[in-house]
Amino acid sequence: MTFATLGLIEPLLRALETLGYQTPTPVQAQAIPAVLAGRDLMAAAQTGTGKTAGFALPLLQLLTMEGPKVAANSARALILCPTRELAEQVHASVAEYAQHLPLTTYAVYGGVSINPQMMKLRKGVDILVATPGRLIDLFRQNALKLNQLQTLVLDEADRMLDLGFSEELANIYRMLPKKRQTLLFSATFSDEIRQLAGQMLNDPLSIEVSPRNVAANTVKQWVVPVDKKRKPELFVHLMRKGRWKQVLVFAKTRNGVDALVDKLQGLGINADGIHGDKPQATRQRALDRFKSSDVQILVATDVAARGLDIEDLPLVVNFDLPIVAEDYIHRIGRTGRAGNTGEAISLVCADEVNMLSAIEMLTRQTLTRQMEPDFEPEHRVPDTDASGQVVKKPKKPKKPKTSGGGGGKRNLGKWVDSGDVAPAEPSIKPVRKVPVFNTGPRKKK
């Protein structure tokens, strides 16, 4: 299948050629013809599937082929995104796809001055990418009218609800023309999303590109915080303690695979490794021996393990977290298959906190942490959670003041009033920076 066979027009094909897109991804193959045919869409697809082009390409085509010129202070299509980063990213992609088309695009979001945005909207824009709050502000200040709107895209709808935008979405819904095309993209489909879809969509076509995060539901996942240098030791400890029989282990690099395999073999453990430097035949042999249980521990890189079909693995261990969060889902998808329950354990050191946060955001869950006695890390893994937008970086402990008030041990050497010292609470507490996102969706009245 090619983009041309999906019915895209020449200026779009030219842009795709420049970008090096050769084959449509599954979400594009399904979404493009449906959107071109005017259907509403409810698509289960997350970042990395090519969903942006899936909605943007047909949208650009429809706007080019149909409808009147955009009026002042108007938009013909609106793409709603949960965050300004995503709005920027989506807008950048849309602008690239539209490079040979006579269409205008623009992105608006909060946290920056509204005036330039109001100025820019004066002439109207064909495609407006927006975050919900700023869109409402612009609408209320009469900088934007929505009566010319043909298409609404809700991108990452579940995240918009997670971030507490349900009231804003309800408000926006009231601002929209009744007759329009609506495309909803969401990684997960909770009852609330279905309710939103029921309200906003008209006889939608359902697309499910990869039920990848379904696998996660049958997999018990947790994290063991540990110092980097103690990971091999912890692995062996957990293996013996849990009497692991067949484990697929993921390491980040080829060297990492080799080092762990050497270590395990040195301890008399039946382990083998696969990575891109090994010839295909060697990889296949290791895999076959693992499948037939001649090898107990198979250590792999993500690339080597891609597409591995091993049925019903009881356990996956992330010796290192993947650099790309999506790979975490690929990895744990190798256990808990076909309704079986599986386990996925991640050994996480302080360096990997950004990756942990990205995984939690992608999978929309905060992974349980379980300290292993005697392996508690010296370098604490900072707190993370599923809202993930801001990673709480490890705070550099402030040097307690050597003079003046405040509490802490330093005061012990000088005279202090007993009331000045806070005995129980340490004076330096990690600051959680994103409580705003943890409040859950606001309920509609």
Tokens of 69: 């010129």
Element spanning 266, H or E: helix 254-266
The residue (of 41 and 317) whose beta carbon lies closer to ligand AMP is 41
77 within 8 A of 183, measured Cβ to Cβ: no
The residue (of 24 and 256) whose beta carbon lies closer to ligand AMP is 24
- C-beta of 55: minimal distance to ligand AMP in Å? 9
- C-beta of 51: minimal distance to ligand AMP in Å? 5
The residue (of 21 and 189) whose beta carbon lies closer to ligand AMP is 21
The residue (of 15 and 53) whose beta carbon lies closer to ligand AMP is 53
The residue (of 17 and 66) whose beta carbon lies closer to ligand AMP is 17
Taking the C-alpha atoms of residue 383 and residue 366, their distance in angstroms, rounded to an integer, is: 10
Segment interacting with ligand AMP, rule: CB under 6 A, options 49-57, 113-121, 289-297, 369-377: 49-57
346 within 8 A of 221, measured Cβ to Cβ: yes
Segment 230 to 289, residues that bind ligand AMP, using CB under 6 A: none
Q: Which of 6, 39, 49, 349 binds ligand AMP (CB under 6 A)?
A: 49
The residue (of 40 and 326) whose beta carbon lies closer to ligand AMP is 326
Radius of gyration of the chain (CA): 26
Give me the residues paired with residue 172 across strands: none
**Residue at token pair 């009218």:** 145
Taking the C-alpha atoms of residue 308 and residue 193, their distance in angstroms, rounded to an integer, is: 33
- C-beta of 284: minimal distance to ligand AMP in Å? 28
- C-beta of 363: minimal distance to ligand AMP in Å? 16
Segment interacting with ligand AMP, rule: CB under 6 A, options 50-58, 312-320, 365-373, 433-441: 50-58
- The residue type found at 212 is R
- C-beta of 435: minimal distance to ligand AMP in Å? 28
- The residue type found at 157 is A
Q: Is 330 in the site for ligand AMP (CB under 6 A)?
A: no
Taking the C-alpha atoms of residue 77 and residue 60, their distance in angstroms, rounded to an integer, is: 9
The conformational region for residue 7 under phi > 0 = left, psi -120 to 50 = alpha, else beta, is: left
Q: Which of 51, 76, 278, 283 binds ligand AMP (CB under 6 A)?
A: 51
- C-beta of 46: minimal distance to ligand AMP in Å? 7
Q: Is 366 in the site for ligand AMP (CB under 6 A)?
A: no
Element spanning 232, H or E: helix 231-242
- Site track for ligand AMP across 4-33, x = CB under 6 A: -----------------x-xxx--x-----
Element spanning 258, H or E: helix 254-266
**Interacting residues of 168 by C-beta distance below 8 A, sequence separation 6+:** 132, 133, 135, 136
359 within 8 A of 216, measured Cβ to Cβ: no
Q: Which of 47, 73, 357, 366 binds ligand AMP (CB under 6 A)?
A: 47
Q: Which of 30, 52, 104, 131 binds ligand AMP (CB under 6 A)?
A: 52
Q: Interface residues with ligand AMP (CB under 6 A)?
A: 21, 23-25, 28, 47-53
